[in-house]
Amino acid sequence: MAGDQIVEAGIPTTRDAAFRQLADRHLEASYRLACAILGSPAEARDATHDAFVQAWRKWSTLRDPARFEHWFDRILVNTCRNRLKRSARWRTRDLSDDLAPAKGDPLGQALDRDVLNAAMARLSPDHRLVVTLRFYRDLTVEEIARQLGIRAGTVHSRLHYAMKRLHAALDESDAKGTLR
């Protein structure tokens, strides 16, 4: 059922039920996105909860319920961004618990993931956000720009410098022999 069909009736109880239904549908994906951005399952749970509370408070401002996912993702990304900026620690442990099972050498892939997570942890919050949205959510540069409220050129620039830093960190790890 599309989001706009859920919210057709203007009765508060119907709107409440519609919000719960949309939130339930997007909860798991939202948590995974928050986990990818923040790198901590506990922080991701808190950020997802905070974002849903904020979305509930602003529920009446959503004009087109069919755009709930985009609207909510923006709230979630901003919540994660604020947490990253407030946080003094930049260390991440796991980019995603939902990665497909490793083929071949599971230990080697786990080590590679740890190295990548350590490299991601060295990025600034703004760089981590654009990399996560681009490669985890598979959004285009224009979609990222709209979601973050910045120009596409700024997204391109942040992606460029973030990828340079990631490559440098991975090359450094490879030189130390920690990358397979």
Confidence class for position 145, pLDDT limits 50, 70, 90: very high
Residues of the domain holding 80? 3-86
In a domain, 42, yes or no: yes
Pair 74, 17 in one domain:
yes
**103 DSSP 8-state letter:** S
Nearest residue to 35 via CA among 113, 115, 96: 96
Q: What is residue 2's predicted lDDT score, i.e. its pLDDT? A: 46
Pair 110, 81 in one domain:
no
In a domain, 158, yes or no: yes
Q: List the structure tokens of 68.
A: 């709930």
Confidence class for position 103, pLDDT limits 50, 70, 90: low
pLDDT at 3 over 80: no
pLDDT in tens, 48-86: 999 999 998 988 888 887 888 889 999 999 999 888 887
Q: Which residue, of 86, 117, 144, is where some domain finishes? A: 86
Spatial distance between the Cα atoms of 135 and 99, rounded to a whole number of angstroms:
13
Q: What is residue 99's predicted lDDT score, i.e. its pLDDT? A: 46
Pair 68, 136 in one domain:
no
Pair 143, 114 in one domain:
yes
pLDDT at 35 over 60: yes
Q: What is residue 12's predicted lDDT score, i.e. its pLDDT? A: 53
pLDDT at 122 over 80: yes
Spatial distance between the Cα atoms of 19 and 25, rounded to a whole number of angstroms:
10
Angle, helices 12-38/68-86, rounded to nearest 10 degrees: 50
Whole-model pTM?
0.57
Q: Any idea which residue has 């960190």 for tokens?
A: 169
**What values do phi and psi take at 56, rounded to 5?**
-60, -45
CA angle 130, 155, 65 (to 5 degrees): 70
pLDDT in tens, 155-175: 999 999 999 998 888 888 777
When divided into structural domains, the chain yields a total of 2
Pair 119, 56 in one domain:
no
Count of helices and strands (H, E) across the chain: 8, 0
Per cent of the chain over pLDDT 70 is 76
User: What is the overall mean pLDDT for the chain?
Assistant: 78
